[in-house]
Amino acid sequence: MDLSNLKPAKGSTKSDKRIGRGQGTGRGGTSTRGHKGAKSRSGYSRKFGFEGGQMPLQRRVPKFGFKNINRVEYKAINIEVLQALAEKNGVTVIDPELLRSAGMVRKNDKVKILGKGTLTSKLEVKAHAFSKSAAEAIEAAQGTVVKL
């Protein structure tokens, strides 16, 4: 035995269907494609979402509203959270870096400070936006508001 006379075991392989090779083969004529219609033609490829001419689902479902491409998303942080953070870490300056290290915001998040809760510590708060009530509460506690 050598490489020149190796062959697969008997019955382990099948020969390919030879389609479209005349009537004598039993697979001539329509070549197993049935009769007429788009699927019997060469080069047929169905468009994604095509439902045979019926109005497709993505066109039947109504659409409404719009997405404003200029919308700015802020991560909201309340002043009660700032108070807890100041007490826990013993800091007087709170900025997005500190919030990031505390796991409250992600790297590219913009931060907005909201006015829920009470603030007793004198803090310098740096953020991208402040609600009116939050800014008043921070300044009432002799703190400073710095917009980034």
Tokens for 26?
A: 């039993």
- pLDDT band of residue 101 (cuts 50, 70, 90) is very high
Query: How do 74-78 and 110-114 pair as beta strands?
Result: parallel
CATH of 74-147, one of 3.20.20.70, 3.90.420.10, 3.10.450.50, 3.100.10.10: 3.100.10.10
Tokens for 148?
A: 């980034």
CA–CA dist 88, 143 (Å, integer):
18
Residue 113 is predicted with a pLDDT of 94
- pLDDT band of residue 1 (cuts 50, 70, 90) is confident
Residue 74 is predicted with a pLDDT of 96
- pLDDT band of residue 64 (cuts 50, 70, 90) is confident
Q: pTM for the complete prediction?
A: 0.58
Kindly list the distances between the CA atom of residue 89 and the CA atoms of 60, 71, 94, in Å, as whole numbers in the listed order: 56, 34, 10
SS3 content of the chain, % helix, strand, coil (to 5): 25, 15, 55
pLDDT per position as a tens digit, 19-44: 999 999 999 999 999 999 889 999 99
CA–CA dist 131, 127 (Å, integer):
11
